[in-house]
């Protein structure tokens, strides 16, 4: 049932192009516009929404952090993303005009379920993004957009994450479409870009041997840091989470701009630091800033592992290891940038002799608070 792979995780990483394509399937009509019939929250209600709150845990929370950038950029509705486990305990401000999005692969995560129950009690509408048909979270929500990743068996989430991102982008576009902040042409062009992602993920998967080799060479390290900016920041958090749960290594993700506010003190000779570089196109200011961050940490001895868009020559001189990914629109980069980090963590776990599909102390779905 592992389809010839040693681990479910490897199989699930390989299934990502299909999972991404399947999650788009049937949601785009012949004219290239979005038809999300499943989102049964009526147009007038969606047009009234004045705040979006995303609640989720772990990897799904990282998808939610990325969704915030897309939702605010495309719809201009304020959006916050919150750890589901913290949500109801701080008496959040919710009302009839709040749209809460609960993201969960399993649909059974108790923290997320309790957060959405609290939101509904306060009168908010809840949209679930979920991978498991008929599970509790979608049953208790006002509407659901299912991700079509297929069953995810490995405890470490991979293909579910990519499809959660796709679903979040679709919801963001849909909200923009319904509210008129995104016009047909713009929606169609993003949808086209999303449709190209499956092939691009495939391309990334075909070039992963150097990443595996690098991972093996780091098997005896104690710490790995991850840096990113903008949507690359949650990608850095996700890279660090994968490494913690699979390799049992100390791994931390930082927003690169925060380096000078503390974390740079951690940099020492030969410390591996993975840096997710934003596209040099579009937001080039951020790109240039992160290039200086790479220079700064390298000058202090860090071993720089740089994930950058193919053809980004500016980073090359400062990258001890360069992992190239295809060029994507700025907001969609996490869909390709996360994949090498999954492969990296999986290979490190294997090199350290850890159980890849069933890391110690963890369960696939966390049904207690």
Residues that bind ligand M6R (CB under 6 A): 57-60, 104-106, 109, 112, 155-157, 241, 245, 365-366
Comparing CB distances to ligand M6R, the nearer of 156 and 215 is: 156
The torsion angle over the Cα atoms of residues 61, 67, 71 and 72, rounded to 10 degrees, is 80
Cβ proximity to ligand M6R: between 195 and 365 the closer is 365
Q: Residue 60 or 256: which CB sits closer to ligand M6R?
A: 60
**Rounded to the nearest whole angstrom, what is the least distance from the CB of residue 187 to ligand M6R in the complex?**
27
Counts of helices then strands in the chain (DSSP H, E): 13, 10
Q: Give the DSSP H or E segment for 59.
A: helix 58-75
- Residue 17 and residue 23: Cα distance in Å, rounded? 10
Smallest distance, ligand M6R to C-beta of residue 362, A:
6
Give the residue carrying structure tokens 């959405």. Answer: 116
Q: How far is Cα 361 from Cα 10, in angstroms, rounded to an integer?
A: 21
- Going by their DSSP bridges, the two strands 321-325 and 272-276 should be labelled as unpaired
H/E segment holding residue 11? helix 8-14
Q: How far is the CB of 210 from ligand M6R (least distance, A)?
A: 24
- The residue among 24 and 241 lying less far from ligand M6R, judged by its C-beta, is 241
Q: Least distance to ligand M6R from the beta carbon of 53, Å?
A: 16
Using Cβ positions, the residue closest to ligand M6R within the complex turns out to be 58
Using only the alpha carbons of the chain, give its radius of gyration: 20
Q: What is residue 305's three-state secondary structure?
A: strand
CB of 113 or CB of 201, closer to ligand M6R: 113
Q: Toward ligand M6R, which CB reaches closer, 57 or 167?
A: 57
Q: Strands of 272-276's sheet, edge to edge?
A: 250-255, 223-228, 272-276, 303-309, 321-325
Comparing CB distances to ligand M6R, the nearer of 129 and 319 is 129
Least CB distance to ligand M6R at residue 281 (A): 31
For the bound state, the minimum distance from the C-beta of residue 9 to ligand M6R, rounded and expressed in Å, comes to 10
E strands along the chain, which residues?
A: 51-56, 79-83, 98-104, 125-130, 143-146, 223-228, 250-255, 272-276, 303-309, 321-325
β-strand partners of 102 = 55, 128
Backbone phi, psi, residue 51, to 5°:
-160, 140
Closest CB 346 distance from ligand M6R, rounded Å: 11
Considering the complex, state which of residue 135 and residue 333 has its C-beta at the smaller distance from ligand M6R: 135
> Beta strands 125-130 and 272-276: pairing type?
unpaired
User: 163 or 279: whose CB is closer to ligand M6R?
Assistant: 163
Residue closer to ligand M6R (CB basis): 104 or 141: 104
Query: Minimum CB separation from ligand M6R for residue 226, in Å?
Result: 15
Listed residue (159, 155, 125, 143) closest to 18, CA to CA: 159
d(C-alpha 190, C-alpha 21), whole Å: 14
Closest contact distance (angstroms) between CB of 156 and ligand M6R is 4
Q: How far is the CB of 228 from ligand M6R (least distance, A)?
A: 18
CA distance readout (Å), 32 to 175, 178, 195, 331: 16, 15, 10, 19
| Residue owning tokens 């490995």 | 154
């Amino acid at each position: 049932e592992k389809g010839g792979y040693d681990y479910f995780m490897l199989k699930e990483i390989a299934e990502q192009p299909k999972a991404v394509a399947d999650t788009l399937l049937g949601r785009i009509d012949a004219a290239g516009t979005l038809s999300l019939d499943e989102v049964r929250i009526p147009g007038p209600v969606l047009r009234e929404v004045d705040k979006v709150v995303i609640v989720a845990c772990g990897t799904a929370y990282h998808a939610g952090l990325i969704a915030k950038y897309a939702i605010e950029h495309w719809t201009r509705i304020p959006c916050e993303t919150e750890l589901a486990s913290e949500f109801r305990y701080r008496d959040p401000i919710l009302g009839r005009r709040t749209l809460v999005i609960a993201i969960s692969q399993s649909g059974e995560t108790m923290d997320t379920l309790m957060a959405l129950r609290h939101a509904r009690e306060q009168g908010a509408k809840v949209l679930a993004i979920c991978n498991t048909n008929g599970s509790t979270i979608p049953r208790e929500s006002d509407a659901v957009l299912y991700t079509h990743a297929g069953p995810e068996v490995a405890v470490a989430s991979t293909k579910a994450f990519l499809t959660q991102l796709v679903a979040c982008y679709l919801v963001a576009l849909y909200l923009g479409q319904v509210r008129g902040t995104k016009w047909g042409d713009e929606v169609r062009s993003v949808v086209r870009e999303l449709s190209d992602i499956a092939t691009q993920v495939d391309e990334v998967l075909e070039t992963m041997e150097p990443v595996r080799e690098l991972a093996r060479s780091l098997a005896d390290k104690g710490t790995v840091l991850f840096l990113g900016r903008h949507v690359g920041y949650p990608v850095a958090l996700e890279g660090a989470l994968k490494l913690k749960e699979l390799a049992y290594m100390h791994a931390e993700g930082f927003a690169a701009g925060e380096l000078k506010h503390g974390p740079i003190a951690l940099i020492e000779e030969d410390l591996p630091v993975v840096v997710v570089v934003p596209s040099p196109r579009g937001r080039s200011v951020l790109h240039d800033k992160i290039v200086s961050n790479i220079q700064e940490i390298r000058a202090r001895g860090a071993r720089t592992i740089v994930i950058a868009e193919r053809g980004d020559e500016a980073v090359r001189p400062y990258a001890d290891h360069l992992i190239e990914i295809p060029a994507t629109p700025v907001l969609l980069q996490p869909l390709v940038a996360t994949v090498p980090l999954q492969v990296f963590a999986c290979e490190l776990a294997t090199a350290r002799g850890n159980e890849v599909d069933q890391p110690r102390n963890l369960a696939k779905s966390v049904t207690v608070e």
